[in-house]
Amino acid sequence: MDEQSLTGTFRNLLDIVDDDPHILGLYVGSPGSGRSVLCKQYAHEFLKSGRKVIYISTERSSADLVERMLGHGWDVKPYLRSSLRLVDLYSWLEDGVQEYTETPFGSRLCPMNTTDLQLAIGRLYEELGAGWSIIIFDSLSTLIGMIGEERAIRLVPSIVAKVRQHGSAVVTLTSEIHSKSTLAKLSSLFDLVVEMQVEAGENLERRLRISKYTLGHHPDTWMPFRILDQGIIMQAGSARVA
């Protein structure tokens, strides 16, 4: 079966976020299903098109994130300090430094103080200025592990409300580590929910489907994809959102 980059479902998912300036998307899947690659690919595509991006990482430092994106051929360094803001919520785990600091790649802070996190997001929107921005949060599950589920459930709606004022969101969640109740509560806050799966075998098999899209019709079939050097590759002929 022929394959094309950024066509079919993935191209259309980009279109959904690009067409609606206030859509919130939740990408739920198991480890290795491709959620983080999808986030990086989103960021690069939107930056290329002139969009503003806030990228919050809970699993890698900003420097590591930039290097890993470059490994896919996505050089985001020219966008730093202009249309791209990187927020490092990971490095404090390694060095114990919890104070908010600026780095050559953006800013870093400890999310244990949720007020600081909310203030930082607001400050970043102000720095980017007026106009549509997308915030990418990879991963919400790691944040929940850091601050606890109860605090996170209270925090997320306030962040969602702020994001809706300024633009769109792409947020990732690990499906296996949360209860059905928690998944349902979090999913209810989003307009778009995309499920991603990976199955181990002789060859890794990955697929995704749109399980919720409140602003239009959508297929509920699973669609296969691969992760290559250039990012996520959907198989030609995959169903598209109506």
**Per-residue pLDDT tens digits for 70-100:** 999 999 999 998 999 999 999 999 999 999 9
Please give the Cα distance from 3 to 237 (Å, whole number). 9
What is the domain extent for residue 47?
3-177+189-194+201-235
Q: pLDDT tier at 10 (50, 70, 90 boundaries)?
A: low
Please give the Cα distance from 152 to 148 (Å, whole number). 6
- Tell me the per-residue pLDDT of 120-172, one tens digit each, with 9 for 90 and over: 999 999 999 888 899 999 999 999 999 999 999 999 999 999 999 999 999 99
3 state SS of 154: helix
The answer to the question of residue 217 being in a domain is: yes
The answer to the question of residue 182 being in a domain is: no
The answer to the question of residue 241 being in a domain is: no
The answer to the question of residue 242 being in a domain is: no
Task: Give the CATH number for residue 144.
Answer: 3.40.50.300
The answer to the question of residue 183 being in a domain is: no
User: pTM value?
Assistant: 0.91
| Alpha-helix residue ranges (DSSP H) falling in 59-178 | 62-71, 92-95, 114-128, 140-147, 149-166
The total number of structural domains that make up the chain: 1
DSSP class of 90: S
Q: Kindly state the tokens that stand for 168.
A: 């769109």
Share in percent of the chain as helix, strand, coil (round to 5): 40, 30, 35
pLDDT at 33 over 70: yes
Q: pLDDT tier at 236 (50, 70, 90 boundaries)?
A: low
Q: What is the mean pLDDT of the chain?
A: 88
- Tell me the per-residue pLDDT of 44-55, one tens digit each, with 9 for 90 and over: 999 998 999 999
Can you give the pLDDT at residue 15? Answer: 73
DSSP class of 80: B
Can you give the pLDDT at residue 228? Answer: 86
DSSP class of 43: H
The answer to the question of residue 240 being in a domain is: no
